[in-house]
């Protein structure tokens, strides 16, 4: 009888392995089919959903990417809690594809991605470069900075992921006889943007600065020059200059344009039901549910209005990340950013963290546009 035991055991193991393979194969097939729904369903709102605790997160560790800026590396800066790393975004009507960096690099072979904006754009750019590097850890890369331009290159795929610091999108000019002039109807940098295949724009944070932090002395529109104006009004005028540039210069068969909606800060606990709090310090979990007590961000409404009124609104995909980010009161560096306990950063985001979800949605949108 012993002579027949081994074949029986082998057949049994083979059968078990076959069943296991079939189960996992069927499971993956269902996942792929579920993810493909996003490609075939333009009506799916990726921005309506909830945050769910997920043990498979984060998508990477900050130690995987030694190029992450100190101000975003909350773990290295001593943040002790880890719950903020463990949440994934779940849209209500469909499944958001898990980020596949190798797939994105293959799709983008020979092309270039450019982020244009402020330090929130830097936050998202750093997130994407780390997500891509984590996906192909053995692929060489270069990371260079030249003034306001940063370039992260994957030579094996001939892909460049770049970041251009331009906080207003319109021109800020230093005129010796006058001073620093913010020109709401001028956008000279547009000549540089034309060469890129994917453009992700962002602007809002710097429009709020006043006093010594205000980067302009005058605001100019046409022949009119003023010392200041309502910031939302100025913001809208600048966005209309930008959308006019997009309408006149972007060929959608060659260039995909995204606008990152307003990234919120968390400085008023009343917005999330904690009246005694005026910072994000100590926040360890997201707001429950899908609605935010603080309501829509005023600048978000301006962005949506301006994009709706474009000559061709389909030219710009709005990465409408405002509400999903409002729910993440736990995602900021707080005292674990660049300034340490001497500072309080409730504006930027820890990495890994919320910007990874922005890029996951960016990836899903690019898949959808390329199918």
Return the pLDDT at 44: 86
Return the pLDDT at 69: 95
Write out the catalytic residue numbers: 119, 345, 348
CA distances from 136 to 73, 102, 142, 229, 248 (A): 21, 6, 14, 48, 37
Q: What percent of the chain has pLDDT over 70?
A: 87
pTM of the model as a whole:
0.89
Q: Tens of pLDDT along 144-163?
A: 999 999 999 999 999 999 99
Closest to 364 measured CA to CA, from 326, 319, 300: 319
CA distances from 337 to 69, 75, 77, 125, 205 (A): 10, 9, 7, 17, 17
Return per-residue pLDDT of the chain as tens, 371 residues: 444 444 444 334 334 444 444 444 444 444 444 454 454 445 689 999 999 999 999 999 999 999 999 999 999 999 999 999 999 999 999 999 999 999 999 999 999 999 999 999 999 999 999 999 999 999 999 999 999 999 999 999 999 999 999 999 999 999 988 999 999 999 999 999 999 999 999 999 999 999 999 999 999 999 999 999 999 999 999 999 999 999 999 999 999 999 999 999 999 999 998 988 889 999 999 999 998 988 889 999 999 999 999 999 999 999 999 999 999 999 999 999 987 667 899 999 999 999 999 999 999 999 987 66
Total Cβ atoms within 10 A of residue 51 = 23
Return the pLDDT at 226: 96
Q: What is the DSSP pairing of strand 224-226 with strand 218-221?
A: antiparallel
121: helix, strand or coil: helix
Return the pLDDT at 368: 85
Question: Tokens 């950063």 correspond to what residue?
Answer: 345
Return the pLDDT at 39: 44
Domains, the chain, in order of start with CATH, read 51-370 (3.40.50.1110)
Closest to 128 measured CA to CA, from 113, 149, 116: 113
Return the pLDDT at 275: 85
CA distances from 208 to 103, 168, 186, 202, 216 (A): 38, 11, 20, 14, 12
Q: Tens of pLDDT along 293-304?
A: 888 899 999 999
Closest to 114 measured CA to CA, from 129, 135, 101: 129
Q: What is the DSSP pairing of strand 149-154 with strand 142-146?
A: antiparallel
Return the pLDDT at 38: 52
Total Cβ atoms within 10 A of residue 280 = 23
Return the pLDDT at 74: 97
HEC assignment per residue over 229-291: CCHHHHHHHHHHHHHHHHHHHCCCCCCEEEEECCCCCCCCHHHHCCCCCCCCCCCCCCCCCCC
Return the pLDDT at 370: 66
Return the pLDDT at 208: 93
Return the pLDDT at 2: 43
Return the pLDDT at 11: 38
Q: What is the DSSP pairing of strand 171-175 with strand 159-165?
A: unpaired
Asked if residue 329 lies in contact with residue 279, where contact means CB atoms within 8 angstroms, the answer is no
């Amino acid at each position: 009888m012993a002579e027949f035991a081994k074949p029986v055991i082998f057949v049994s193991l083979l059968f078990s392995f076959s069943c296991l393979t079939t189960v996992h194969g069927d499971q993956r097939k269902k996942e792929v089919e579920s993810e493909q729904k996003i490609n075939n369903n333009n009506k799916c709102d990726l921005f309506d959903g909830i945050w769910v605790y997920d043990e498979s997160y984060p998508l990477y560790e900050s130690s995987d990417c030694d190029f992450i800026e100190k101000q975003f590396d909350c773990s290295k800066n001593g943040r002790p809690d880890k719950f903020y790393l463990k949440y994934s975004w779940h849209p209500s009507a469909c499944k958001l594809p898990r980020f596949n960096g190798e797939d994105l690099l293959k799709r983008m072979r020979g092309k270039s991605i450019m982020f244009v904006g402020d330090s929130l754009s830097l936050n998202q750019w750093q997130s994407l470069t780390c997500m891509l590097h984590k996906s192909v850890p053995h692929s060489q890369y270069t990371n260079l900075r030249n003034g306001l331009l940063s370039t992260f290159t994957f030579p094996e795929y001939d892909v460049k992921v770049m970041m251009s610091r331009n906080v207003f999108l319109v021109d800020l000019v230093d005129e010796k006889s006058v001073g620093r002039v913010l020109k709401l109807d001028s956008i000279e940098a547009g000549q540089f943007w034309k060469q890129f295949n994917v453009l992700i724009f962002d602007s809002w944070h710097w429009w709020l600065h006043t006093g010594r932090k205000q980067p302009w002395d005058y605001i100019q529109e046409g022949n009119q020059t003023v010392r200041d104006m309502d910031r939302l009004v100025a913001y809208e005028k600048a966005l209309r200059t930008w959308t006019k540039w997009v309408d006149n210069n972007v060929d959608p068969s060659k260039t995909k344009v995204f606008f990152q909606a307003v990234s919120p800060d968390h400085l008023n606990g009343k917005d999330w039901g904690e009246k005694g709090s005026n910072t994000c310090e100590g926040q360890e979990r997201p707001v429950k549910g899908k609605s935010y007590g603080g309501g829509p961000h005023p600048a978000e409404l301006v962005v949506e209005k301006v994009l709706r009124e474009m000559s061709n609104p389909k030219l710009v995909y709005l990465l409408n990340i405002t509400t999903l980010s409002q729910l993440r009161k736990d995602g900021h560096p707080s005292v674990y950013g660049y300034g340490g306990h001497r500072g309080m950063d409730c504006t930027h985001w820890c990495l890994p963290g919320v910007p990874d979800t922005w890029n996951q949605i960016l990836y899903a949108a690019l898949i959808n546009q390329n199918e």
